[in-house]
Amino acid sequence: CKIYNRYALKPGDVFRGPAVIEERESTAVAGPDTTVTIDKYLNLIIDIDAPA
């Protein structure tokens, strides 16, 4: 799985899980069926794909 530095992410970045997003204060884990989007306020938006 890919490891991202939270501080290097920019608004509009989008990537698929599985992924680990690391920062000093915490770590977020996005599972394999997720899409991670960084919004204009630098929030992580993790969408979970619905089963087919």
Q: What's the pLDDT tens digit per position in 11-22? A: 999 999 999 999
What's the pLDDT score for residue 52?
66
22 token code pair: 């690391």
Cα Rg of the chain (Å, integer): 11
Write the secondary structure of 4-50 as one string of H (helix), E (strand) and C (coil).
EEHHHCCCCCEEECCEEEECCCCEEEECCCEEEEECCCCCEEEEECC
Closest CA to 11 of 45, 34, 35: 45
pLDDT at 50: 78
pLDDT score of 51? 74
Q: What is the pLDDT of residues 5-50, one digit of tens each?
A: 999 999 999 999 999 999 999 999 999 999 999 999 999 999 999 7
